[in-house]
Every structure is written in structure tokens, then in C-alpha cells.
Structure 1
Amino acid sequence: MIPSSIEKAIVGDITATLNRIGIMYRIFSRAKDVRSLKRKIYSKSKYLEGVAKIQDLIGIRIVLYFPDDIELVHKVMSATYVERRKDASIDDLDDNTFKPVRYNLVYELPSQSFYELDCEYSHFVDSTFELQIRTVLSEGWHEVEHDLRYKFQDDWRQSSTESRKLNGVYASLETNEWTMIRILEEVAYKHYKQKNWEAMLRQKLRLRIQNFELGEDINQLFNSDIELAKKFFRVDREELISELYNKGFDYPLTLKNLVWFANAIFVRNETILGNTPEEFVEEYS
């Protein structure tokens, strides 16, 4: 198969998977042309000497809205594709280091997929694709850094102070990302105290939900039983999304369906179970 057709198929599969669990993201992709492939082969001796192969003929980037989704998406992708763990580039920085974090993963091509390259460089290419995971606020920084510093390192050899300043911009963005999550959590808690249940769940879950109406029955139940509402407020977001994936959730992502699902998996309130369609309960209990 030509790289562009494989690229399109993989992007389609990833998009369907992430849409099903409601993750907020953007996705970008490209397949190297022959000129780019040749340039990379001749840029490093390890390719010419046969020590390593090109693993990013297809490159895909998932740009997430929130940094706490990075590891979650990694787990989901590695449950979907075969990961070459030894080839991953994930920076593990200590507490005193602030610098750009690489989160680059390498996966084997899906079964029945293989590259057909009509050029003399086909033996330099591995049967893999690269997946990068970024966040929205860091994405623009990475684009600037890659195009103006990484590609032209000689331009920066006598500009260590400026290089540190550029990294400082990244540090500020990373801090702002975690601050943003904390702000959303505070807003969710404020709505919990005010009994605004739809707003509470909307800000807590941070998912791409199709319909935010809980319905009168759930709203009234939460109003009459604050302890029950608290149980839903305390459902762990990461565990909920993981279970959506693990259980193969394929119902529309509405707020009511998510409450039914969270109740079937975590809370087990009998009143909500009694108001949930029987087939839904049977499938996810």
C-alpha cells in the first residue's frame, strides 16, 4: 500500500477511537515524500550504515487540550496498536529541570498494511509509524522550536541565554496548562455546591459531549440526595474514560448516557439503575 493510503486509514481509526471516548483533541498527519525521505537518510550515518531504519515515514500528531490526557491516550493507543517500546522517546525529567518534553511513540503498522515504495530507498524504511502526543498550548511552541532551532542548531550555538529564554516560554506554558485544569476543577466544585448538576459534570469531565441535558429525573434525584450527587462528583475522570474504552462504549456521548454508565460501573444507585434501559445495564454492569 502507498504510504498516504495507510496514513489515511490509521488517522481514521485513531479519530474514531478518540471520538468514542470523548477526548478533546486535534489530529495532524503527513507521509514523507521521496525528497524528505532522502534528506533524512543522508542526515545521519546510522541510516546509511544500516544500524537503524526510518520509522516515521508516516508521522501522526495528536494534540490534546489537557496534559492529564497524555498518558491516558498513550494507553489507549498501545491497546490498539503494537508499540515498539524500545524505540519510544519519552523524556523523564527530574523535579529541577524545565525543558521541552518529547512524547514520541513508535507503532508497528496494522496487520495487512505494508509500504510499497517505488524508489531506491525502500530498504531504509521500517514497517512502523510514529505517533507524537502534544498539548494545545505546547503545540505552537514546538512548531517554532522545531522549525527555527532544532533544524538550524548552528544558528543557536552562541545564543545559550536566548535558548534558555525560549525554554522558559515552554515552562510558562506547561505551568499554565496545569493551572487551567485546576481552574476548571474549581468551577466544577462551585457548581456542585450550587446544585448546578449539568454544569458541574460538564466542567469536571472535560469531554466532547453531544448533549448536556441530564433530564428532570436525574436532576431531581441529585437535588434530593446530595450524597449521591457527591459520589458522581468524585468519580475519577481517568478511570471513567478508561472504562469507556475498555467496555467498548458505543452509545452517543450524552451527559445522561455518561451518568448511566458511571452509575453502572462505579456508583450502583438502584434508582438510577431502575431508570436506565435494561439492555444498557446488562451490557455495562
Structure 2
Amino acid sequence: MTARIGRRRLAALAVCIGVGAALCAGCSGPQSAAVPTIASIGSPAASENVLNGIESLPAPKLLAVVGDAVRDARSAHVVGTYSPPPPEATGGRAAEDVAGEGVDAGNRVVSIDVRGSSTTCLGTVEMDGGGSDRVRSEWRRIGDEVFVRGSASFAALIGQEAAEAAFVRFRAGDERIAPWLRLLDPFGPLAGVLETEGSGASIRLGAQGVDRDAQSLQLEMSSDGVLTGTATITTVGPPLPIALAVTDATGRGVFAFDGWGEGADPERPEFVDAALPVE
């Protein structure tokens, strides 16, 4: 059971790993890919106690069924971390040279905890390490409005002094927060995995296969014959992802998913509008 997946898979996964490296310098990177629209090939099992049969499907059809279930869920809870690569993993080059010009990733670890959909969500993003204090931020997105507050180091990072004491409102299209919003998209890490077009990479049933005790199966992702990550899918009820781990030149991302379809209802806080950028 093997399916070809596009090389853009790693670019889409950079939503949560490469972008993590870019945050320290505010680099925007490529726009995150949307969850693919996949033609329905049958609704997944509705009961949480019924086997969904994905272990018997060929890889392309399995990916289509998983994509359909993800799309139907509309929302999720994702917790994860980005860890930058060690120097030896980048051929001796600095992390900023791998992630992009002007990026100062240092040795920070980026942690995310997000609940909701791509346009309505709440969550936290934290960065640790790098020889500085912990950078903490709390986010609420309600459609086109994005509210954020955080630690003094975060307020300095985004150039909004008021964010230490109060929520600051941005518009979702503001490029100053674009990298952060890509981290706050709960579907961002999955977009590339569900893409089946193109060539150069593949996905297949992993060596672990089906874990009947855990009611899940593991898929392995590879590029040019090198294992780059794994995705764990539930085999009971709707076939939804429960874990994802991926490694590329920009670092390693590890994500866990639950709360599918539960949504989020962030409260609109009192706020001040974001200060205009200094010319």
C-alpha cells in the first residue's frame, strides 16, 4: 500500500516547523496550504465503536477517506512542538541559513496548543531557549479579528508594547502576524500529508502496521527513499489523525490531535488596536 505525495508536502508542513524557526525574525515564509478538497468516496463510520476498515484500503483511497473525515470535522485540538535541527543536520550551516535569510532561530523550541478551526480558534504559542526569557503569547481569532497578548518579550518581538498588559487587535490579513497565524491553523500540519498530487515522495503503511489495542494504524512518509515522518490514524469511528511526526531540514515537528468537531467559542475581549508600524 503506497501512494505518491507531492514535494509540496514538506512546504505545507513548514507551516508548523519552518515557520517556527522564522518567528524569531518575523519572516513570513510561504502561505499555508489549505486542507485539500477531496471528492467524497463514502462517509466514514459514524459510531465510535465501529471499525472503519481503513486498514484494508489502498493508500490513495485511504488518504481520500482521511481527508474527507478531516474536512467534515471542521475543527480540532492540536498540541505540538517544533525543535530546530542540530548543526550536523544542516550540513554545518546555521539554522537561519536553512530556514531563510534573516531568520534567527537559535536553539528555541516552539510549543503550540490550539483549539478550533482555521478562522475561529484560541490557543497559545510559546518559545523557549535561545538564551532569553520564555516568549509566551495567547491568541483568539474570531473571523477577520485576531486578538493577542503575551509576555514582555513577546510584546517586544511583535513591536506592540501594549500586548503585555492587554489584548491587541490585528486584522487577520496583517502581514505582521502572518507567521503566527500559520501556527494557529489546526489543519496546517496535515495539509501536505493529505495532498496526493505530484511525485518525489510517498506514503505507505508503516512497519508498526495496525495496532489493534490502540485502535490505530501508522503511515510512513518518505522522500527519495528516506523516512521523513509518520502519521497515526484511528481505525475506529471516523478515520481521523491522532498523531503526526515529521523531520526536514528546518527541524522536527511533533503534533497530537483530538477534540475533532468540538469547535471553539473564543470570547471577544476588551482590546486596543495594534499600533501602526514605525516607518
TM-score (norm 2): 0.23
More helix as a share of residues: 1
Which of structures 1 and 2 has the bigger CA Rg? 1
User: What is the TM-score when the length of structure 1 is the normalising length?
Assistant: 0.23
| Structure having greater relative contact order (Cα 8 Å, sep ≥ 6) | 2
Query: Relative to total residues, which structure has the larger strand share, 1 or 2?
Result: 2
